[in-house]
Amino acid sequence: MNIPSHLKYTKTDEWFDPATGKAGLTDYAQSQLSDIVFVEITVGAGDTVEFGKAIASVESVKAAAESYAPVSGKIVAVNEGLANAPETLNSDPYGAGWLVQIEGGDPSGLMDAAAYEKYCAERAH
């Protein structure tokens, strides 16, 4: 499982990059969903989001899930390319598979990589 150390994580399996404001689904989340076939980002540039509110719907061959805002702030960009290539969430969840870019987000309440790795391990048992 890939858990980059420079990112912050939520208990609902979203990641947030404090340096860029980008956010998305973790490698753990995409592996649990398996083959992702549909992504709909339900917020747009200029929208204000609150921590824990839904920002996207993701469907795979075995499940549907919501993705939630990892921080509160203003949406400054949305990854429009995912609508035509939802499988990018499986192949590159921390790169081309980002969902939104959030300005002004405070990651202080999020887990670091070590805490998230431990959290994922606890759920696997």
| The pLDDT of residue 71 is above 90 | yes
Domain ranges across the chain: 8-123
Provide the pLDDT for residue 38. Answer: 97
- Interval 6-37: pLDDT, tens: 999 999 999 999 999 999 999 999 999 999 99
| The pLDDT of residue 99 is above 90 | yes
The two three-digit tokens of residue 33, written as one number: 């969903």
* DSSP helix/strand/coil, 72: coil
* DSSP helix/strand/coil, 19: coil
Measured CA to CA, the distance from residue 52 to residue 21 in angstroms comes to: 16
- Interval 29-70: pLDDT, tens: 999 999 999 999 999 999 999 999 999 999 999 899 999 999
Stated as kind and residue range, the H or E segment containing 54 is strand 54-60
Percentage of the chain exceeding pLDDT 90? 94
* DSSP helix/strand/coil, 123: helix
Instruction: Kindly list the distances between the CA atom of residue 49 and the CA atoms of 68, 103, 119, in Å, as whole numbers in the listed order.
Output: 9, 10, 25
Mean per-residue pLDDT for 68-78? 98
Provide the pLDDT for residue 124. Answer: 72
Q: What CATH topology corresponds to 8-123?
A: OB fold (Dihydrolipoamide Acetyltransferase, E2P) (2.40.50)
Mean per-residue pLDDT for 76-102? 97
Instruction: Kindly list the distances between the CA atom of residue 30 and the CA atoms of 14, 46, 72, 86, 108, in Å, as whole numbers in the listed order.
Output: 10, 27, 23, 11, 24
Name the phi and psi angles at 71, rounded to 5.
-150, 165
Mean per-residue pLDDT for 96-109? 96
